[in-house]
Amino acid sequence: MGPGDPEARSSRVPALLSTFFERSAGGLSGAEGSAAGTVRTFALVSIASTTLFTARYLADPAVAAGPLPWLNAISIAVFVAVLVLVARGRQLLAAIVYLATATAGMLYMAVLMGWASGHHFYLITAAQLVFLMFTERQRLWRWTFALLSAGAFVYAQLGTEGIGPYADREHIADTFAINAVGTATLMFVLSVVAHHRARVARAEAERLAAHAEYLANTDPLTGLANRRPVSARLEELAAAEGRTYCVAIADLDRFKDLNDVYGHACGDRVLAELGDRLRGQVRVSDALGRWGGEEFIVVLADSSLADAAVMMERMRRIVGERPIACTGHDHRVTVSVGVADGEADRMSHRVVKRADDALYDAKLAGRDCVRMRPLGEAGTSRSTARPAR
Q: How many CB atoms lie within 10 A of CB 9?
A: 10
Q: Tens digit of pLDDT per residue, the chain (389 long)?
A: 445 555 555 566 566 656 655 565 667 777 888 889 889 999 999 999 899 888 877 877 877 788 888 899 999 999 999 999 999 999 999 999 999 999 999 999 999 999 999 999 999 998 888 998 999 999 999 999 999 999 999 999 999 999 988 888 888 899 899 999 989 988 888 888 778 778 878 888 899 999 999 889 999 999 999 999 999 999 999 998 878 899 999 999 999 999 999 999 999 999 999 999 999 889 989 999 999 999 999 999 999 999 999 999 999 999 999 999 988 889 899 999 999 999 878 889 999 999 999 999 999 999 999 999 998 775 554 445 555 66
pLDDT attached to residue 127: 84
Rounded (5°) CA angle 258-261-267: 40
Residue type at position 144? T
Distance CA 24, CA 227 (A): 43
pLDDT attached to residue 383: 44
pLDDT attached to residue 375: 83
Task: Give Cα separations from 278 to 254, 297, 318, 320 (angstroms).
Answer: 18, 10, 9, 11
Query: Closest Cα to residue 152, out of 216, 189, 192, 99?
Result: 99
Query: Closest Cα to residue 113, out of 57, 47, 158, 151?
Result: 57
Phi, psi of 237 (to 5 degrees): -70, -35
Helix, strand or coil for residue 388?
coil
What does the domain layout of the chain look like in residue ranges?
A: 6-214, 227-373
- 227-373 belongs to CATH 3.30.70.270: yes
- CA–chain centroid gap for 355, Å, is 40
Write b or e for each residue in 215-227: b if 16 or more Cβ atoms lie within 10 A of its Cβ, otherwise e. Answer: eebbbeebebbbe
Task: Give Cα separations from 263 to 257, 267, 292, 327 (angstroms).
Answer: 9, 6, 18, 11
pLDDT attached to residue 1: 46
Q: What is this structure's pTM? A: 0.60
Phi, psi of 348 (to 5 degrees): -60, -30
- CA–chain centroid gap for 159, Å, is 47
E strand or H helix that includes residue 324: strand 324-326
pLDDT attached to residue 366: 95
